[in-house]
Amino acid sequence: MAGSAGTQTITLAKGLNQGLRAAMEADPKVIVMGEDVGKLGGVFRITDGLQKDFGEQRVLDTPLGESGIIGTAVGLALRGYRPVCEIQFDGFVYPAFDQIVTQLARFHYRSQGKLRMPVVVRVPHGGGIGAVEHHSESPESYFAHTPGIKVVACANAVDAYWMIQQAIACDDPVIFFEPKRRYWEKASLDLAAAPPPLFSSRLVRSGTTATVVTYGPMVRTALDAATVAEQDGQRLEVIDLRTLSPLDLAPVFDSVRRTGRLICVSEAPGEASLIGELAARVSQECFYSLEAPVLRVTGFDTPYPPAKCEEDYLPDVDRILDAVDRALGY
């Protein structure tokens, strides 16, 4: 990114990188920590160049241990720092699960506000990159289920740039999901345009036939489905949730009241998931507006399969359009 103002075309990865840089420039208490984030710049190069410019005191190459990363980040937050932790891949977040769920999420409540946890945990999530086991998962429901932490998912380069800065500025712990297969997709970033609030959903395509709600890597897929559907005369409305906890469902309710049909899309297994919560809430709030049951298009209730099967595992344009057809069939 050349200047401090104007419009540039950047990748989602670069958006995150520039957003991190801006946050570190704005607040000396912001530190980046994780495996290989320093010299290497992260396995996805999201932290590229940060250690060179901010030094080893602010960009910490940590030992290999996810619980250690989050547990020491908790201690650093108690000391007044704002750690931004990188978990290298979604499937490696589980060793840190205890520290996130029993500690990071609880300090504010336990202390009744005396202790704050301004910690961001960045997690590249989702499949579609042909990876080996544990590199393609969608664990966001585990975290959305946990009170005390906030969960967001960015879907494009512009959101990546702003949302990472907003998450770092947030005084609560934020689990920040990044759609790894979209890291290299580009968008036009206008630095003069004010971003929407972090914890807000957004209508990304208007339509009348049915509402498709999704987040993260599936936003692109849903938009593609809407484009294809248009050829059949169907106008799909697409909403990017952006915030998974707290949920901002007002735009969803508003949309469903107009379209009467809702398709929820996520790569994660559907059973007992965030998407299921969405279906329940919409059924409750929009019961008399619904023309069809809320339908879900998700990964299957299986472990993530070998990479050669992921094309069939992951929701795609066709599965979304099949669900639209089913919803229209009621």
Interface with other proteins by CB under 8 A: which residues?
31, 57, 62-63, 65, 67-68, 70-81, 95, 98-99, 102-103, 107-116, 118, 147-148, 150, 170-172, 224, 227-229, 231-232, 246-247, 317-319, 321-322
Q: What angle do CA 244, 249, 251 make, to 5 degrees?
A: 125
- Cβ proximity to other proteins: between 49 and 246 the closer is 246
Q: Catalogue the active-site residues.
A: 135
* Nearest distance from C-beta of residue 189 to other proteins, angstroms: 23
Q: Check if the beta carbon of residue 121 is closer than 8 Å to that of residue 88.
A: no
For the chain, give the longest Cα–Cα distance: 60
Measured from the Cβ of residue 1, the count of other Cβ atoms closer than 10 Å reads 16
- Minimum Å gap between C-beta 12 and other proteins is 20
By beta-carbon proximity to other proteins, the closer residue of 192 and 308 is 308
Minimum distance between the CB of residue 8 and other proteins, rounded to whole angstroms?
25
Long-range contacts of 321-325 (CB under 8 A, 24+ apart): 321/225, 321/228, 321/229, 323/263, 323/295, 323/296, 323/297, 324/209, 324/210, 324/212, 324/225, 324/229, 324/234, 324/236, 324/261, 324/263
Nearer to other proteins, 13 or 84 (CB): 84
- Burial category of 94 from C-beta neighbours within 10 Å (exposed 0-12, middle 13-18, buried 19 and up): middle
Q: Nearest approach, Cβ of 90 to other proteins (angstroms)?
A: 20
Nearer to other proteins among residue 191 and residue 317 (C-beta): 317
Q: How many CA atoms lie within 13 A of 165 on its CB side?
A: 21
* Residue whose token pair is 């919409």: 282
Segments in the chain forming alpha helices (H):
12-26, 50-54, 66-78, 97-98, 107-110, 140-144, 157-169, 218-231, 250-259, 274-285, 310-313, 317-328
CB of 144 to other proteins, least distance (A): 13
